[in-house]
Each structure stands twice: as structure tokens, then as C-alpha cells.
Amino acid sequence: MTKRDTTREWELLFKAQGDEFDIDEFTKLLDEYTVEFPPEHVIQSTIENCIVHVPQYASESSKLKRMFHTLSLQVEYVSKWFWLFSLLLFVSGYVATVFDSISPYKTVLVLSPMPFILGVLEILRSTDSGMAEMELASKMSLPQIMMARFVLIGSYNVVLNAIISFGLYWTFWIDLWKVLLFWVVPFTWISSIMLFLASRFRGRRLVPIAVSVWGALVIGILSNPKTLPYLLSLNDTLFVLFGVVGFALLWMQSIQLRNRAERGIFVEIAD
């Protein structure tokens, strides 16, 4: 039952401590603790109960169907207030830009990471009874649920940013490429920072704190009248570089999130 090389490992421990005792007698005693394995019919029953859970993937198209089904399921479980509030935020931003003569670049900069900041708690919502039921009903594991929500909320953020960018472009005939770069960089960086913070710090206070900090930061930066012209004068290559780095950080954080979920380490969001 014991392997000689690992028996030597714990023997060496005792020897290193100067602890002398009859190892053969001790091992002979421990080896009495045999395992009475179940009979064949129990093992067969286990097999029958397990093999039904082997995923059946017929083809690539059914994989895609399954993915869409997974995502559509998550839409229902993410809070409706998140979808609505994020949309209202962007609509308000567009209206304010049109009627209050706010710079469209400022608008996209400020709004770009907001849905993700608001939605990060939805991604990490704990394994309360609702989550466990969903896991049983949809046969999805916790990591799959979390990654599906991450994709959903991230994609929603991207879609809202894209829509407001095109809307402002058609309204003001501004540089579309510049507008896109203006939201990609803060979106990727702030999203990866939020994932990092949310997976390590508990509590619902994280979101209002993050919103306040982001708001204070952009107000502080943009209150200087020279800041925006300076940012607009920067080379596009720099934006692209920052965007790529931001995307890499976001990718790394999402992988870490999935790995932590797979190991059973996830944040219990406390009130």
C-alpha cells in the first residue's frame, strides 16, 4: 500500500528531528487500516450515474447552439436593472452631448467602462441558492456561469460604446477612429482593474467606490482645458498600444477568474 520512496520521505522527516522509533512496527500497524472496497454492483451503479453527464457534442453547429443557449440563460439571471441602467446612462450621455454641447470625446471617455463597473458584481455573484439551482438546471459549472456572464456583460459594454460612438460620429462628423480609440483604452484597463479588485475584495461597496473614483479621476483630468486637446494630439499608435496592453490585462484577469472558480475559490459577495 505504501511506496518505498514516499515512505522514505516521512521517515526522513522523523530522522531529521532526531525522533527514533520502531518504524516497521508503526507501518505494520497503519497497514492494518485496509479499505473495504464496494462490490461490483455499486461500482456499476456509479458508472451508470456518471456517464449520463458526459457532454455530447454532435457537431460545431450544436456547439454554437449550446453557447447561445448558455448566454441567453445568463441574460435572464443578470439583474434587469443592470441592463436598463446602463442603457439609460448611454442615452443620457448622448442627449447631454447633443443638447449641452459637451465634447463627444469626453462623453465616450467617461462612459466607456461604466457598464462593466456596474456589472462586475453580477459576474461574481456568489453561490447562493439561485446560482446552485441554475447550475443543476442548466448542467453548467460555476466557472462556465461566471465566464458566460463575463462575456455577456463585456459584450454589452462594447455594444453600447460602439453605438454611442457611431451615433456621435453621425451627429457631429467627428473622427470615428479617434472616438473608438478613446473608449477602447479606458474600457480595457478599467475592466481589468475592476476584475482584479472584485475577485480579491468582498462587499457591495466596491461598485459605488469604483464609480466615485472613476468619476473623480475623469473630472480631475478633464477639468483642465488643455487635457483634451493634448489627448487628441497623441499619436494613434500610442492608443493602439495601450489598447492592446489593456486587452492583454483583461484577458489575463479573465483566465485567473476562471482558474479561481475552477479551484472553488470565489468571492462570496457580502452585504
At residue 206, what is the residue type?
Answer: L
Burial class (CB in 10 A: 0-12, 13-18, 19+), 114: buried
Query: What binding mask, one character per residue, do residues 194-213 give for another protein by CB under 8 A, x or -?
Result: --------------------
Task: Map the footprint of another protein across residues 211-240, applying CB under 8 A.
Answer: none
Nearer to another protein, 62 or 212 (CB): 62
For residues 65 and 123, give the distance between their C-alpha atoms in angstroms, rounded to a whole number: 22
Q: Tell me the window of 114-122, 151-159, 242-250, 259-267 that interacts with another protein (CB under 8 A).
A: 259-267
Task: Map the footprint of another protein across residues 4-33, applying CB under 8 A.
Answer: 5-7, 9-10, 13-14, 17, 19, 21, 26, 29-30, 32-33
Nearer to another protein, 48 or 76 (CB): 48
Task: Map the footprint of another protein across residues 112-141, applying CB under 8 A.
Answer: 139, 141
When binding is defined by CB under 8 A, the residue of 18, 55, 225, 229 that contacts another protein is: 55
Q: Using an 8 Å Cβ cutoff, are 193 and 230 in contact?
A: no
Instruction: State residue 220 phi and psi, 5-degree precision.
Output: -60, -45
When binding is defined by CB under 8 A, the residue of 24, 37, 229, 270 that contacts another protein is: 37
For residues 6 and 82, give the distance between their C-alpha atoms in angstroms, rounded to a whole number: 54
Nearer to another protein, 14 or 177 (CB): 14
Coil/strand/helix, residue 89 = helix
For residues 261 and 263, give the distance between their C-alpha atoms in angstroms, rounded to a whole number: 5
* 181 contacts: CB under 8 Å, gap ≥ 6: 236, 239, 240, 243
When binding is defined by CB under 8 A, the residue of 82, 211, 262, 269 that contacts another protein is: 262
54 binds another protein (CB under 8 A): yes
